[in-house]
C-alpha cells in the first residue's frame, strides 16, 4: 500500500513539474531533468519499511526544478511587461465659456490650456496631433486657434467662422463672412519647432455671396459646399463641388440645385446628406435632412420624421446619421430640440436625448462610432453641459459642466 501511494505521489509531482516547466521556459525541459534524476539515483532504505521507490534525491530535484521554472517564468513575465507598451489614452478637448481645456477621455482631470474665449466646438485633426476651434477673443471677434496635443498654440487667424479637417491629411478648410471665402490651411511646426502654416484659396463659383456649410470628401480631393450665388436677393444656397487643389467649382446637378445647406459627406464617398426644404423651395415649409447621390444629385433618401435640423453627422461606418432637430409629431415638444439617430437600413429614427424645457445640440460622434457627443442647455442662462451618449442604449455620462462643445482625440 505504501509503495502504491509513493508511486502515485511520484507521478503527481512529475506531472506538476512538467506542466510548470512547459509554461515557464521551453528551452529548459525541467520535467526531463527530473525524470533522469529519478531513474539514475540509487534506492534508499527507510527504517522498517524496506526500499522506497521514490528515491530520496528526488526531493532536491523537485526543489531545484521548481526554482528554475519559477525564475524562468518570472523572467518571461517581467520581459513581457517591459515589452508591452501602455495603451494610449485619448484626450478630450473642451471649448468652454472660461477658455480651452484638455481632460481625460471620461472628463476627469481637466487641464486649462488658455483662459480667454469663450471657445466653441473643437475638432481634432485626422491623426490626432492637432485640435482646431473658434473663439470670440475680446474685441477681435471670431478667431480660429489651432493647438497641438501638447497644448502649444500653432496658429491664430481672425475672421474664421467655420472649419473642417481633411480626413486624410493635415489640412484644414476654413471660411468666414460677410464676404464669402474658402481656404485650405496646412498648419504645423517648422524645423526648429515654431508654428508654421501654408494657405491656399479655393475657387468659388461666380457671384458667390454666402457659404452655408461645407464638408470634405473622404479622399480629401474636393469639398461639398453650399453657396448662395447670383444677384437675386432671395436666392437660396445650392450644392457645389470645389476641388481642394484650387480648380474650378462644379455645380451638383439634380436635387443639388434645390435649396440645400450644411452638407455632410458619407464615409464611403457616394452620398451627401444636406438640410433642405421639405417642400422643395417653399420658405414656409420646415426643413428636413435629405440624402443625395454625390455625383448625380439624385435623391436617395429623406429623414422626414424630424424637422428643422441644425447639425447632421454620419457615423464612422456610414450606416447611421445623427441629427439634432425638433419633434413635429408632438406639439408639446415642438420647441424642444433633441438628438436623434437615423438608421439607413430600415429608415428608422431613435430619440437619444430628453431635455424638458431646454435644448440639446449634436456635437458629433466619438471616433469609434459607439457613442455621441452632445451639448445640453442648462437653465435659463444658456449655460451648457457636455455629455457622452451611448448610441446603442442611450445611457449618458456627463463629461464637462461648462462646455459649448467637446471632441475626443482619434488614436492611431
Residues 361, 396: Cα–Cα separation, whole Å: 14
- In this structure, of 61-75, 221-235, 239-253, the range with the lowest mean pLDDT score is 61-75
**53 inside domain:** yes
pLDDT tens-digit readout, 52-66: 343 444 444 433 343
In percent, the amount of the chain with pLDDT more than 70 equals 74
Residue 9 within a domain: yes
Torsion angles phi and psi, residue 81, rounded to 5 = -65, -40
pTM above 0.85, yes or no: no
The residue among 302 and 59 whose pLDDT is bigger is 302
Per-residue pLDDT reduced to its tens digit, 166-194: 999 889 999 998 889 999 998 865 544 45
pLDDT for the residue 265: 98
User: Which of 186-195, 342-351, 376-385 shows the lowest mean pLDDT across its residues?
Assistant: 186-195
**Which has more pLDDT, 363 or 15?**
363
Is the confidence at residue 394, as pLDDT, over 50?
yes
- Percentage above 90 pLDDT, the chain: 60
Say what the pLDDT of residue 9 is: 42
SS3 for 229? strand
CB pairs under 8 A, 24+ apart, for 281-290?
A: 281/236, 286/328, 289/321, 289/323, 289/325, 289/342, 290/255, 290/260
**pLDDT-derived band at 44, boundaries 50, 70, 90:** very low
Q: What is the CA radius of gyration of the chain?
A: 32
Q: Is the pLDDT of residue 95 over 80?
A: yes
Grid cell of 293 as nine digits: 447621390
| Cβ atoms < 10 Å from Cβ of 362 | 28
Range name among 18-22, 92-96, 379-383 with the lowest pLDDT average: 18-22
pLDDT at 367 exceeding the cut of 60: yes
> What is the arithmetic mean of pLDDT over 358-385?
92
Given a contact cutoff of 8 angstroms between Cβ atoms, the answer to whether 386 and 400 are in contact is yes
Helix (H) or strand (E) holding 39: helix 30-40
Mean pLDDT over 326-342 rounds to 76
Question: 3-state SS of the chain?
Answer: CHHHHHHHHHHHHHHHHHHHHHHHCCCCCHHHHHHHHHHHCCCEEECCCEEECCCCCHHHHHHHHHHHHHHHHHHHHHHHHHHCCCCCCCEEEEEECCEEEEEECCCCCCEEEECCCCECCCEECCCCCEEEEEEECHHHCEEEEEEECCCCEEEEEECCCEEEECCCCCCEEEEECCCCEEEEEEEEECCCCCEEEEEEECCCCCCEEEEEEEEECCCCCEEEEEEEECCCCCCCCEEEEEECCCCCCEECCHHHHCCEEEEEECCCCCEEEEEEECCCCCCCCCEEEEEEECCCCCEEEEECCCEEEEEEEECCCCCEEEEEEECCCCHHHCCCCEEEEEECCCCEEEECCCCCCCCEEEEEECCCCCEEEEEEEECCCCEEEEEEEECCCCCEEEEECCCCEEEECCCC
Domain contains 34: yes
Number of domains in the chain: 1
User: Does residue 322 form part of some domain?
Assistant: no
Domain assignment of residue 345, yes or no: no
**Confidence (pLDDT) at 86:** 56
Q: Of 315, 248, 258, 322, whose CA–CA distance to 292 is shortest?
A: 258
221 falls within a domain:
no
The answer to whether position 23 is within a domain reads yes
Q: Which of 410, 411, 406, 346 is nearest to 95 (CA)?
A: 406
Please check whether residue 130 is in contact with residue 113, taking contact to mean a CB–CB distance below 8 angstroms: no
Return mean pLDDT, the chain.
81
Owning domain of residue 74: 2-83
The mean pLDDT of 197-213, rounded to a whole number, is 92
Q: Is 24 helix (H, G, I), strand (E, B) or coil?
A: helix
pLDDT the model gives residue 196: 54
**Is pLDDT above 90 for 71?**
no
pLDDT of residue 245: 92
Which pLDDT score is estimated for 49? 36
Confidence band for 25, pLDDT divided at 50, 70 and 90 = very low
* 68 domain-assigned: yes
Task: Reply yes or no on whether the pLDDT at 18 is more than 50.
Answer: no
- Stretch 133-145: mean pLDDT, rounded? 88
Residue 334 has pLDDT above 90, yes or no: no
Q: Which of 23-27, 254-258, 334-338 has the lowest mean pLDDT?
A: 23-27
Q: What is the pLDDT of residue 356?
A: 80
Amino acid at each position: 500500500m505504501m509503495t502504491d501511494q509513493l508511486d502515485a505521489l511520484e507521478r503527481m509531482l512529475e506531472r506538476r513539474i512538467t506542466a510548470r516547466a512547459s509554461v515557464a521556459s521551453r528551452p529548459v525541459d525541467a520535467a526531463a531533468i527530473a525524470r533522469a534524476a529519478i531513474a539514475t539515483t540509487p534506492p534508499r532504505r527507510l527504517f522498517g519499511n524496506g526500499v522506497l521507490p521514490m528515491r530520496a534525491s528526488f526531493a532536491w530535484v523537485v526543489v531545484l526544478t521548481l526554482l528554475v521554472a519559477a525564475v524562468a517564468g518570472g523572467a518571461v513575465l517581467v520581459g513581457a511587461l517591459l515589452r508591452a507598451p501602455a495603451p494610449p489614452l485619448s484626450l478630450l478637448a473642451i471649448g468652454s465659456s472660461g477658455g480651452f481645456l484638455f481632460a481625460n477621455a471620461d472628463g476627469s482631470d481637466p487641464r486649462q490650456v488658455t483662459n480667454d474665449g469663450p471657445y466653441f466646438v473643437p475638432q481634432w485633426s485626422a491623426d490626432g496631433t492637432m485640435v482646431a476651434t473658434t473663439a470670440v477673443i475680446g474685441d477681435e471677434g471670431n478667431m480660429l486657434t489651432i493647438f497641438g496635443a501638447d497644448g502649444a498654440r500653432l496658429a491664430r487667424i481672425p475672421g474664421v467662422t467655420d472649419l473642417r479637417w481633411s480626413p486624410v491629411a493635415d489640412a484644414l478648410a476654413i471660411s468666414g463672412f460677410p464676404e464669402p471665402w474658402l481656404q485650405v490651411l496646412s498648419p504645423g511646426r517648422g524645423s526648429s519647432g515654431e508654428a508654421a502654416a501654408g494657405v491656399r484659396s479655393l475657387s468659388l463659383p461666380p457671384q458667390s455671396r454666402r457659404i452655408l456649410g461645407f464638408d470634405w470628401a473622404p479622399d480629401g480631393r474636393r469639398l461639398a459646399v453650399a453657396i448662395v450665388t447670383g444677384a437675386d436677393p432671395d436666392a437660396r444656397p445650392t450644392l457645389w463641388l470645389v476641388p481642394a487643389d484650387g480648380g474650378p467649382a462644379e455645380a451638383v446637378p439634380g436635387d443639388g440645385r434645390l435649396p440645400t445647406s450644411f452638407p455632410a459627406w458619407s464615409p464611403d464617398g457616394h452620398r451627401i446628406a444636406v438640410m433642405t426644404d421639405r417642400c422643395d423651395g417653399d420658405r414656409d415649409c420646415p426643413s428636413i435632412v435629405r440624402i443625395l447621390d454625390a455625383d448625380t444629385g439624385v435623391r436617395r433618401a429623406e429623414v422626414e420624421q424630424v424637422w428643422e435640423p441644425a447639425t447632421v453627422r454620419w457615423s464612422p461606418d456610414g450606416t447611421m446619421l445623427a441629427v439634432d432637430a425638433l419633434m413635429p409629431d408632438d406639439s408639446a415638444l415642438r420647441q424642444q430640440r433633441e438628438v436623434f439617430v437615423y438608421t439607413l437600413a430600415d429608415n428608422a429614427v431613435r430619440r437619444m436625448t430628453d431635455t424638458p424645457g431646454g435644448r440639446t445640440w449634436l456635437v458629433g460622434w466619438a471616433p469609434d462610432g459607439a457613442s455621441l457627443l452632445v451639448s445640453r442647455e442648462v437653465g435659463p442662462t444658456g449655460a451648457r453641459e457636455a455629455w457622452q451618449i451611448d448610441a446603442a442604449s442611450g445611457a449618458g455620462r456627463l463629461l464637462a459642466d461648462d462646455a459649448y462643445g467637446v471632441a475626443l482625440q482619434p488614436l492611431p
